[in-house]
Amino acid sequence: MLLELVLKNKMSDWRNQAWSGVFPATLCPFHDDESIDEEGLKQYIDEVSSVEGINGVVCNGHTGEIMSLRPHERDRVTAVVRSAVDAVNARDNRDVRTVTGVSAEGSHEAIDHAKAARDAGADAILLMPPHHWLRFGRSSETAVGFIRDVAEGAGVPMIIHQYPAWTKAGYTLSEMLEMVTIPEVMMIKMGTRDMSRWLFDYQQLKASAPHVSIVTCHDEFLLPTLLEGADGALIGFAGFVPELMVRTVHAALDGDLPGAREARETVAPLARLIYNFGEPGCGAHQRMKVARWLMGSFPSPRFRRPVRPLSEAGIQGIRDQLRAIDYPVVR
């Protein structure tokens, strides 16, 4: 009982945070020739963003295969998503936001992409770290400077994408404490995957910048991170089963432990099917796309190259697992 009261007191104000709650990282459908299926994308975004409790959709993330999209295609995805979200907002009197990923190796390129995303209709960008840092590392001055460069150069609201602590691209707490002083920074998508530091980092960042949302992207540690301290979740799983993720996240943030556990019991078999006890990655995103296609809620299982199609045996395995947990399979 005491723990439940503490959780309720700690988490009761998340609904008053401007950038909080559930933000699905969305998939991107392709035709057989690997061109973007714009009509299929519109229908998918309409379905996801119509779910009560979804506060924003994030396209062109890793789940949306940003690395396989050309720059002009990323902008087109953003425009299509924004159009679909606007229709939902007008129809349902909602205020769902459109966020698009930006991945670039240098500051000038990132500024160009951020401006293009803004012009295509993005309310904010999800800024990934330059991927050459994964190999070569970087100084703190460079890491914070990159965020400042894009903020000052593009002037668009920004979500910082925090990579796992075991990579050379992950930000330290001291670096993030500098980043949250930048006016354009609205949120940090926390992907440290270091549970020993999660609560401490959350508390330090919130003490320094209460207006900046700290959200989890730990699909595989969803409930623990939400209960430790978070303002929401930006996760690919919410683009797979949005209603279930809203139920899980809201229960956890409201300190409803029985409700959160009950929802998590429903999530667990699906999570095992998609993530197979691992971190989110291309394989998981591909299984997510195939599973939705098998259930009749996504237009195609096509993943863009260089990722190769799942084997017939792999698809059959997903089909069998869905049936085993009583999910509808129409293909």
Instruction: Mark the ranges of the chain whose per-residue pLDDT is less than 70.
Output: 1-12
Interval 106-117: pLDDT, tens: 999 999 999 999
Instruction: Tell me the pLDDT of the chain averaged across its residues.
Output: 94
- Host domain of residue 196: 2-260
Task: Provide the 3-class DSSP secondary structure of residue 170.
Answer: coil
Interval 152-162: pLDDT, tens: 999 999 999 99
Question: Domain for residue 282, yes or no?
Answer: no
Whole-number pLDDT of residue 7: 47
Question: Domain for residue 122, yes or no?
Answer: yes
Question: Domain for residue 103, yes or no?
Answer: yes
Largest CA distance in the chain: 57
Domain count, the chain: 1
Torsion of CA 296, 302, 307, 312, to 10 degrees: 60
Q: Is the dihedral of CA 168, 170, 173, 174 positive or negative?
A: positive
Task: Provide the 3-class DSSP secondary structure of residue 155.
Answer: coil
Q: CATH no. for residue 94?
A: 3.20.20.70
Question: Domain for residue 312, yes or no?
Answer: no
pTM metric for this prediction: 0.94
Question: Domain for residue 275, yes or no?
Answer: no
Question: Domain for residue 274, yes or no?
Answer: no
Question: Domain for residue 314, yes or no?
Answer: no
Tokens at 233, concatenated: 């979740």
ω into 306 cis (within 30 of 0)? yes
Whole-number pLDDT of residue 12: 53
Cβ atoms of 267 and 244 within 8 Å: the answer is yes
